[in-house]
């Protein structure tokens, strides 16, 4: 038989199960103190998978793979801390972007963001979103302090494609590239007004 054989459903499910098992075990894998302590990486929070269609992807990940939808909203420019998803205004906004997260049933410690191939912010334009479909995932690391991570990692020669930004949904985030051009997001939670820091 010439060419590649088509992957069976069970083979596809097995590959996805291996990916999910790896995600579940990642927080357990400990880096040596000298490699990670001073940068403050706490855990993997999200993995982003770029997809061509939200509903098609949601159907596959929930009905075929058996994950559950844990977050579903819409981001739109002009979001505020009191209404970060701009739900009412987002439907009519052409720049709005859906925030869709699935996870293994009963798990909230790590999620898979299903992201459509569409830039959202000016910094996104440096990434060719359509070319990323099926080829790349984006990891989101939770860190103790995003600005401190940025400062220390920059001194080590890490190339940042987005400097720390305070997002209206309560995190400070930055984006960096590894030596191969893979993009990673780091984020830390900001204390809510009137509360003590974590």
Burial environment of residue 136 by CB neighbours within 10 A (0 to 12, 13 to 18, 19 or more): middle
Mean of pLDDT values over 157-163: 92
Mean pLDDT of 60-67: 85
Contact, 51 vs 59, CB < 8 A? no
| Confidence (pLDDT) at 198 | 46
Residue 188 pLDDT: 95
| CA–CA distances in Å: residue 39 to residues 43, 153, 160 | 12, 7, 15
Q: What is the pLDDT of residue 184?
A: 85
Domain presence at residue 81: yes
Asked if residue 101 belongs to a domain, the reply is yes
Q: Which domain holds residue 105?
A: 35-189
Mean pLDDT lowest for which of 26-35, 112-121, 133-142, 173-182?
Answer: 26-35
In a domain, 42, yes or no: yes
30 within a domain of the structure (yes/no): no
Number of structural domains (the chain) is 1
Task: Choose between 110 and 90: higher pLDDT.
Answer: 110
- Return the pLDDT at 147: 96
**Does any domain span residue 17?**
no
User: For residue 94, what is the domain's CATH number?
Assistant: 3.10.180.10
Question: Please, which pLDDT band fits residue 34 given cuts at 50, 70 and 90?
Answer: very low
108 in a structural domain = yes
The answer to whether residue 10 is domain-embedded is: no
Do the domain assignments include residue 29?
no
Lowest mean pLDDT among 17-26, 64-73, 115-124: 17-26
Whole-structure pTM value: 0.56
**82 or 181, greater pLDDT:** 181
């Amino acid at each position: 038989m010439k060419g590649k054989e088509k992957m069976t459903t069970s083979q596809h499910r097995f590959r996805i199960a291996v990916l999910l098992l790896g995600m579940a075990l990642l927080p357990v894998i400990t880096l040596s103190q000298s490699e990670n302590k001073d940068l403050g990486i706490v855990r993997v929070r999200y993995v982003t998978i770029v997809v061509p269609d939200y509903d098609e992807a949601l159907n596959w990940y929930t009905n075929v793979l058996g994950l559950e939808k844990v977050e579903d909203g819409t981001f739109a420019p002009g979001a505020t801390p009191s209404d970060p998803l701009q739900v009412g205004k987002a439907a009519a906004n052409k720049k709005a972007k859906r925030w869709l997260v699935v996870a293994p049933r009963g798990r909230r410690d790590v999620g898979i963001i299903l992201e459509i191939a569409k830039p959202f912010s000016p910094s996104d334009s440096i990434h060719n979103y359509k070319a990323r479909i099926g080829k790349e995932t984006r990891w989101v690391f939770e860190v103790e302090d995003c600005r401190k991570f940025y400062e220390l990692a920059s001194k080590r020669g890490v190339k940042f494609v987005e400097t720390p930004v305070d997002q209206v949904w309560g995190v400070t985030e930055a984006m960096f590239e590894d030596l191969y051009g893979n993009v990673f997001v780091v984020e830390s939670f900001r204390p809510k007004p009137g509360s003590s820091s974590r």
